[in-house]
Structure 1
Amino acid sequence: NAEWKGLSPAEKAKRRDEFNSGEPGFGLSACEYMAERKIILTGGDTSANDAQPAGEQGEEFAVPCHTEMQTRRGIWNIENLEFTQLLKDKVYEFAFVWAPLKIVGGTGSPGNPIALY
């Protein structure tokens, strides 16, 4: 988020526990709901897009939506998206292009998402 990006490395080091304590995101039931509606992609500006701590399915599941959506159903999840320029330009609709690597059973891949508008 903008506050974190504005911190110096020393300030970030002091607040690392706070930063790593949790983040907003989808719970497993939300991921199952979206998958039933045959979505092809989820994305957001957080580091996992899964709610952290995981909650409804127990603490031992670090990123349950990754497993449910990507590994089991082939639905991609894109993390750490940067929307600042799109919002400044008031772009709300665009063609989205992304070419992830195909890694069997994987839950991650590098990629370079592009918004064409």
Structure 2
Amino acid sequence: MQITRKLAALTAAAAALIILGSLFLISPVWQPQSPAAVYIPAAVAAPTPTPAPAIININTATAEELTTLPGLGPEKAAALVAYRTAHGAFASLADAANVKGISLRMTESWVGLAAVQ
């Protein structure tokens, strides 16, 4: 009978150790933790102002400068310069759509990037 009590006590002690041990192994909530680092978003940590893009005057810009506009490669930029030379200055950005290869949608994408004056 005494061996049974000792065996029951040892079994209970082992079960208690297993349960307590599992709290530290399985659930890290019970483990001591160092303080969390403060999170600072990158946008807040180092604000860097972005320079405003320079407005390109399509009536005076060179073909190389015009290639910075969306949708204009070297050929279309050269065609724009040739059209401007032959027909005079553009009255509006939409007038650039008269150049072969340049669409009205393309000129609408230039708003804020290009101007005629």
Aligning the two structures, in what range does the TM-score lie when normalised by the shorter sequence?
under 0.3
Higher helix share: 2
Q: TM-score, normalised by structure 2?
A: 0.21
Q: Which has the larger radius of gyration?
A: 2
Larger strand proportion of the pair: 1
**TM-score normalised by length of structure 1:** 0.21
